Amino acid sequence: MNASMNANRIAALGANAAANVDVEVVAHTGSTNADLLARATDLARPTLLVAEHQSAGRGRAGRSWLSAAGASLTFSLAWKFSGAPQRLLGLPLATGVALAEAVAAQGVPVQLKWPNDVLKDGAKLAGILIETRGAVDGGTWAVIGVGMNLLMPDDMEQRIGRTVAAAPWLARMDRDVLMAALLSALVRAMQQFEAAGFAAFRARWDGLHAWRAQMVAITDASVVLQQGMAVGVDDSGRLLLDTVDGRVAVLAGDVSLRRAGHWANNCASTGADR
């Protein structure tokens, strides 16, 4: 593992698909997503920003993403899409597919939790946060933020307050090589999403779905909104549930996915999503 990551080396190690991406590495920042979002309208090309340590990382719905220096991989990719932000509904799921396949190619099998988590052995290994900003020419800049746990120090797990996953095998890799592999996979996914939308990823996402055919509950602030059997996702990236009232499609947003302990009795588990 490199003590310090190198932007030029990451770019050189990336596949041809990543040749048009500007790569930047900083030792420390508050949030790579916030940094790129602030610069989005001034960017000339897709840009990858990697932080060796991030002190103010954010997860979905404004939650904090805690990380320790050297124990995780934190980065954001700014990518410009044609059209309005509404067409990017399934982008977090497509990003999850790209990350899961890239990690599996390194010998670490993972699964996906709707809408934006990568799981290893049932615990969270990585999270995805996507924020958008309108481009001057009418397109949309998407800033795709990723936080991936490589090691999990005991004190960090205590601060997080729940069991989380780590990937020591990935932690032993050359960090530049790992980042280049993830970047290459993400670039291919962004190009495919631009061309065909989430429909091109649907079957792959369903194949990685951690809770398929299990009873789950959709909650918001511990209030159960929907519960039923998780079937998969549709071509837009909405979660499909078979409920007592029939099949429903749930939009991504501020809702959280929970296992339902006793679905038939209208009970659901509670707790923190992150």
- The active-site residue out of 58, 60, 80, 120 is 60
* Cα–Cα dist 176/235, whole Å: 34
**120 catalytic, yes or no?**
no
The reply to whether 60 belongs to the active site is yes
Phi, psi of 106 (to 5 degrees): -95, 5
Instruction: Note whether 164 and 157 are within 8 A (CB).
Output: yes
Options 58, 124, 175, 202, the catalytic residue? 124
**Distance between CA atoms of residues 248 and 230, nearest Å:** 10
Rg, the chain, Cα only: 18
| Catalytic (active site) residue 124 | yes
C-alpha to C-alpha distances, 240 to 96, 119, 135, 192, 218, nearest whole angstrom:
17, 19, 32, 23, 11
| Sign, Cα dihedral of 256, 258, 263, 266 | negative
Active-site annotation holder among 9, 113, 175, 258: 258
DSSP secondary structure letters along 98-135: HHHHHHHHTT---EEETTTEEEETTEEEEEEEEEEEE-
The phi-psi region of residue 213 (left if phi > 0; otherwise alpha if psi is between -120 and 50; otherwise beta) is left
Which active-site residues does the annotation give? 60, 124, 258
